[in-house]
A = this chain, B = another copy of it.
């Protein structure tokens, strides 16, 4: 039976396990960064190993296949997105402020160059949108999770009485997501320096146009 270094490290030696996990985490942090710029196919075992000063096979042992490396990279990127966007947004008050925070932090984490290639999931989405298989399915699943979070935030703003109940939550979520995607595209490809600011203004205008008189002012 195949045994990766990490898998065998789940045994009795906690110090060795800790080191294995730390190495794996370091590999994946680098992997997300490379994949954000070069794509999940452009992320090769050889270049990843060299950039970490490891041997190819030493790195390979943590994953067992290229596909498993890609899946682990998607999971690592998801965790970073949760830590940098979702969790901080949950500290904002329920309703309109929290919804706006989600959009604002989505844009901010790309703007602040958390990864050298911009947004990992935007790149991965368009790279795998015509493929089949577990990697595409994992990316789509994380993005459905994200759209669900955005949609629930719209619904939450309605429950707080901040947004008109005539608004379709999934529709507004898709609209907000489109502004962020469009701004990412215009910034990264066209080098339009006003695109993120423009997307924020547009999103705020739209949110305010749906706001009730009860809603706190955001932005």
Contact = CB atoms under 8 A, between A and B. Distances in A.
**For the complex formed by this chain, how many copies does it contain in all?**
2
A64 interface: no
Contacts of A179: 175, 178, 182
Contacts of A126: 122-123, 125-127, 185, 189
A175 to B, nearest CB: 6
Nearest to A183: B178
Which size bracket describes the interface of A in this complex? 35 or more
A68 interface: no
A37 B130 contact: yes
Interface stretch (A21-29, A87-95, A139-147): A139-147
Nearest to A182: B178
Contact of A181 (B123, B140, B181): B181
Interface in A104-144: 116-118, 122-123, 125-131, 136, 139-140, 143-144
29 contacts: A39-B41, A39-B127, A41-B41, A117-B129, A118-B129, A122-B126, A123-B126, A126-B127, A126-B189, A129-B185, A129-B188, A130-B188, A140-B190, A143-B189, A143-B190, A147-B190, A171-B202, A174-B186, A174-B192, A174-B198, A175-B179, A177-B185, A177-B186, A178-B179, A178-B183, A178-B185, A178-B199, A181-B181, A182-B182
